[in-house]
Structure 1
């Protein structure tokens, strides 16, 4: 089960499937975080339990080899930078959520795949096909329609979301750069172990003893996060960052499903149209990749 260093494969369609599943699990994570934040738990407390759970899982899966892999890694600077970017994105996103309507928040954050596509050209020298550009545009239009934002957001919270999106995009690019030499389990162990230590330092001032149910949710959050991270990291072994980027839009589809199952929220007509466009964006990428291989 422990992933090992391997060459990147050309099976981009498999990478897209893994990414869609990963973002679906991340939608479960967002639903749990929403529940916990609504019950007045602090972000760092939630992050601590989540990261500690993922770290324990990574230690169990990776064993001594995982620990030694992190200790001997020659990519510590890259891993540290990526962890800092992810932590910053997390904090910016959920702090902005306190001031923006959810529709505005979602619309602004989904600029991230566009950032990934641009960065993949500038930093990774990847060749981005016209189908990838169309997919990104279609996906963004779908998000805008589904979110149906009203009014102009406050400038600083809006900027926080865009900063979070750029941080996430840069972190995604770093995954691609080091994936061929850094096993998935090493990245998970390093990032989440660091998150656990940083958030633990805040607990004496922020800790709120959770109920049994809420504690279970926090642990479940860690399980969901660990599995989601694993699937997403593995997806980058099979496909370029610019191909994976549009699949992030499918998280909104998962969110619609979870919203109905948990809070009995039904999507509007614009939500349905947006969801169709979001799914179409990933289909365009897969069809374009298949055509490229056939050519």
Structure 2
């Protein structure tokens, strides 16, 4: 059976709804898509783009370009392109919660999410640091954020933290957990039998043997040593300024960066349009676009849908691999 994927457009005033409208123009053979969101936002986006959109009950068959199955999650107030409204924060989070809960109930095989606006959600009275953290709390499990394109996969040891808080957040236990989750995902979801993971140092030149900081010696190396003894292929700690050279990347299946802006600028420079954001460790695959709400582009029809297309393709591929593995195990 084709995987069933839940699709959440995200911030209704941003480009998420119109990207979903563009997605609906392409018949899919790899998955079934059911959107969780506000009907009015999707219809307004279709009108702005002059594209057909027929919103269907989630059980109706998709027959033509522009058909989109929908489980409605209504906004509190009508949205306007480029203008966030904190009153709609509840609907944005409600759609994410409803879709994630449906995945946890195994009604869906995966989750694809569009961009959300953190400031608008917090202004609406909902404490929110990121969808990765929200989904992890909902599922009650430890997760890892990974961003990937056709050039490189970058996992993160820490995610949305102020830079001054990063060193204290990097621990032997945390790194061990992160590397195990990443290793398992590379095997199970990407089909890599013996993954090779490059681990970056925290400090310039990976600490220069302790002269530029001792986190590599005191924290990173002990975590790697323990996991190497268990059979994991871990390379590093490596200086971040040279680890992404093409000849080095060719020998890695993924890179573990210590903080958000250590690895992601390189990934986005190498292929921003095709990059996706994965949450590793959830009971279901979750893949998101690797861009923001682009409020300045909303409703103009100029936003590039490539990241959303790539997110759906990636999520469908992982979901199908999990289905095949479950079938092979007799489940």
TM-score for both structures, normalised by structure 1: 0.25
Select the structure with the greater relative contact order (CA < 8 A; seq sep ≥ 6). 1
- Between structures 1 and 2, the one with greater helix share: 1
Find the structure with the greater CA-based Rg: 2
Q: TM-score, normalised by structure 2?
A: 0.23
